[in-house]
Structure 1
Amino acid sequence: MSIYTTEDTTLASDDTRAGAKVSAGAAFGAAAAPPRMTSLDVLESEALHIIREVVAEFERPALLFSGGKDSVVMLHLATKAFWPGKVPFPVVHVDTGHNFPEVIAFRDRTVERLGLRLVVGRVQDHIDSGELAERADGTRNPLQTAPLLEAIRANRFDAVFGGARRDEDKARAKERILSLRDDFGQWDPRNQRPELWNLYNGRHTVGQHVRAFPISNWTELDIWRYIERVGIELPGLYYAHQREVYARDGMWRAVGDVSLPRADEPVLTKMVRYRTAGDMSCTGAVESTAATVAEVIREVAASTITERGATRADDRISEAAMEDRKKDGYF
Structure 2
Amino acid sequence: MSGRQTVAETLIDYLRSQGLLPPPKVTALTGGVSGETFLVETAPSRLVVKRALGRLLVAGEWTAKPERAMTEASALELLHSITPEHTPALCHADPSRHTLVMTAAPADWPTWKSVILASAPSELTARIPETAGELGTVLGTWHSRTWHDADIAARFNDYEALEQLRVTPFHRRVAVQHPGVAARITACAQELVTRRDCLVHGDFSPKNVLVGPNGPMVLDFEVAHFGAAVLDLAFLQCHLILKALHIPERKDQLADAAQRFLASYERECPEPVEKLGAHTACLLLARVDGLSPAGYLDTATRDAVRRLALGLLADDDPSISEVWNRTLEAAR
TM-score, normalization: structure 2? 0.25
| Larger fraction in helix | 2
Please tell me whether Structure 1 or Structure 2 has the larger radius of gyration of its CA atoms. 1
Q: Scaled by the length of structure 1, what TM-score is found? A: 0.25
